[in-house]
Amino acid sequence: MDGVVTKFLEGRVSILRDDITVLNVDAIVNAANESLLGGGGVDGAIHRAAGPELLEACRSLGGAKTGDAKITPGFALEAAYVIHAVGPVWHGGDHGEAELLRGCYVRALELASRHDVRRIAFPCISTGVYGYPIEPAAEIAQQAVRHWLEHEAGIEQVVFCCFSDHDLETYCRVASRVLS
Ligand code: AR6
């Protein structure tokens, strides 16, 4: 892993800066679009690292609605599974974006639990091409994960995998109030 790992909630939540495709966890979450047929950003990186079988598997899923998620194997990835979550496009915040973003974290955690995933890593869903501001997105992500870990058994470790120093700093600042 790349650089410093900061831990919260008695070590059950880690925040780090890395390429999510190299993480040694049971499942990585993809920031996908409704087609689930690949794209740029983290989606493109995951498809390249997993290999062409991932696209074949995604073709059979029939897409997913914004706020929902679907699961496939990880193929060439270290991770056994990829959970393809569709975050909302940011339209200013008055179009249900927060609830949709929260929904895709919860759906991803539900799917992970059903597949006996113990360790799962999330990218900063919706905060790239989809334009969701990083600070409120981090707050929603961390509140959803905290609530899950406090109420459900199964998942032991959650990694928030940031891709830039700025995102990492923001996640750590938000965690000092949401996860401490
Ligand atoms: N590892 C971890 N995080 C990454 C990586 C990586 N290898 N690459 C980028 N990120 P984005 P979105 C970060 O744009 O906003 C795609 O085309 C990136 O810095 O990937 O949900 C899909 O097909 C940012 O913090 O996803 C959709 O059409 C975060 O991942 C659309 O983009 C999310 O940025 C989804 O947009």
CATH code at 16?
3.40.220.10
- Shortest-distance Cα residue to atom 21 of ligand 1: 126
pLDDT tens digit sequence for 133-171:
999 999 999 999 999 999 999 999 999 999 999 999 999
Scanning 19-96, the segments in alpha helix (DSSP H) are 41-50, 52-59
Counting ligand 1 atoms within 8 A of each CB, the residue from 19, 125, 163, 171 with the most, and so the one to mutate, is 163
What is the C-alpha separation between 174 and 169, in angstroms, rounded? 9
Q: What pLDDT does residue 3 have? A: 60
- 89 assigned to some structural domain: yes
CB of 31 within 6 A of ligand 1: the answer is yes
Atom of ligand 1 nearest to the CA of 167: 25
- 1 assigned to some structural domain: no
What values do phi and psi take at 5, rounded to 5?
A: -110, 125
Q: What pLDDT does residue 116 have? A: 98
Quick one: DSSP state of residue 90? Answer: P
Query: pLDDT above 90 covers what percent of the chain?
Result: 96
CB of 170 within 6 A of ligand 1: the answer is no
- 14 assigned to some structural domain: yes
pLDDT over threshold 50, residue 13: yes
In one-letter notation, the amino acid at residue 8 is F
Q: In what order do the strands lie in the sheet with 6-8?
A: 6-8, 13-17, 157-162, 119-122, 27-32, 81-86, 69-73
Q: What pLDDT does residue 1 have? A: 47
CB of 149 within 6 A of ligand 1: the answer is no
- How many independent structural domains does the chain possess? 1
- Shortest-distance Cα residue to atom 12 of ligand 1: 126
Q: Which residue has the higher pLDDT, 22 or 1?
A: 22
Q: Kindly give the distance from the C-alpha atom of residue 128 to the centroid of ligand 1, in angstroms, as a whole number.
A: 5
User: What is the residue-averaged pLDDT of the chain?
Assistant: 97
Q: Is residue 58 within 8 Å of 33, Cβ to Cβ?
A: no
pLDDT over threshold 70, residue 98: yes
> Residue 155 belongs to what domain range?
6-178
Atom of ligand 1 nearest to the CA of 46: 7
Helix, strand or coil, per DSSP, at residue 152: coil
What is the C-alpha separation between 178 and 141, in angstroms, rounded? 10
CB of 127 within 6 A of ligand 1: the answer is yes
